[in-house]
Homo-oligomer: A and B are copies of this chain.
């Protein structure tokens, strides 16, 4: 099969996100990394591109856009892995050029910008995906399939957590990697919810197939001196009637990652944790708790497609992330071939998910404990 020409913006030497994207995109051999604008220092970026064996290294994203737009064999997909504040303009520019984009989260810095991206993606027909990579896990997709096919009956309650302890030590001057996150000037209106909680909310929506309508958030700063929240409890109401509870924290010492999801319906309950992602606990009403194993026979098409090694062997985050790229490869090919894409692959997070996320973040920041509308204006 013909490889898809892929470009990477950001992810310079020493970054964590660059190797993660290259690893994920490389898993199936579906993408060819042919162009990159890897660093805001033009020379460093070009030199790193050479070292990585990338054919066309650019000094910045504008140069790259010029070089690739309309070129025979130019990039079909670009990944935007630059600082948050730049996501909007880069994504916008490439979409306008008809080039597909996978944007790191947050997609934009405001709801209005996010609305613009959604509209642009619709107008241009270019895909805009957002990297909520945790929904790439096979068993997360299986939870969604179980809910969709009715195994749980009506979903009553969803309980999501993303609570870790990595910022419990405080953010003094010696710790710049932590400090900026709690500074409104650099991070915007929300810290921990925007950074982690939003993953949990996206996953909850993804799994139960309902979008959040209203929320009430209790945000606190546990560490002295912080302006933005390092802990939040968010109560939720979804458009299909489900109630939600979401806790996110960065001061929860003893938790390494802490993304978990529990879904409770009329006919059964599910529990999953990112730190042990290959098992899913399933409790049918009136029955016993059972362990669903990733890779076991007879799971849903969604889970089977997202599973790469045999049962009993651990799969981890890089493969989950790779499944987002696998979905994109299928989406891009289906468009190129003028066919409907495999529905089991149509699970990558889209611009509209990025938009909903921006609205939820704004709502959390605004709530002050009171119920507020969590939907973007265009989707009320």
- A51 is an interface residue with CB less than 8 A from chain B: yes
Contact A252 B275 (CB under 8 A): no
Contact A231 B157 (CB under 8 A): yes
| Closest B residue by C-beta to A252 | B264
Residues of B within 8 A of A59 (CB): none
In the complex, chain A residues 8-55 whose Cβ is within 8 Å of any chain B Cβ: 16, 19-20, 22-23, 26-29, 33, 51-53
Contact B156 A222 (CB under 8 A): yes
A308: which of B252, B286, B318 is its contact (CB, 8 Å)?
Answer: B318
* Distance in angstroms between the alpha carbons of A165 and B311 in the assembled complex: 12
* Distance in angstroms between the alpha carbons of A123 and B253 in the assembled complex: 44
* Distance in angstroms between the alpha carbons of A291 and B291 in the assembled complex: 8
- A128 is an interface residue with CB less than 8 A from chain B: no
Contact A290 B289 (CB under 8 A): yes
**A314-B274 contact, Cβ under 8 Å, with A27-B23, A292-B288:** yes
Contact A254 B283 (CB under 8 A): yes
Residues of B within 8 A of A2 (CB): 53
**A314-B277 contact, Cβ under 8 Å, with A252-B262, A253-B268, A254-B270:** yes
- A278 is an interface residue with CB less than 8 A from chain B: yes
The size class of the interface chain A forms with chain B is 35 or more
In the complex, chain A residues 148-166 whose Cβ is within 8 Å of any chain B Cβ: 156-157, 159, 163-165
**A276-B157 contact, Cβ under 8 Å, with A254-B269, A281-B254:** no
Residues of B within 8 A of A266 (CB): 168
CB distance from A146 to the nearest CB of B (A): 13
Residues of B within 8 A of A327 (CB): none
The stretch that binds B, out of A83-91, A103-111, A187-195, A243-251, is A243-251
Residues of B within 8 A of A22 (CB): 29
In the complex, the 9 A-B pairs of residues with the closest C-beta atoms, listed nearest first: A257-B312, A253-B269, A254-B283, A256-B312, A314-B316, A254-B269, A316-B316, A156-B222, A313-B317
Q: List 27 A-B contacts (CB under 8 A).
A: A1-B51, A16-B309, A20-B309, A29-B53, A157-B249, A159-B247, A159-B252, A168-B264, A168-B266, A168-B269, A216-B369, A218-B235, A235-B369, A245-B247, A252-B262, A254-B270, A255-B269, A277-B314, A278-B314, A288-B291, A288-B296, A289-B291, A313-B316, A313-B317, A314-B314, A315-B318, A369-B371
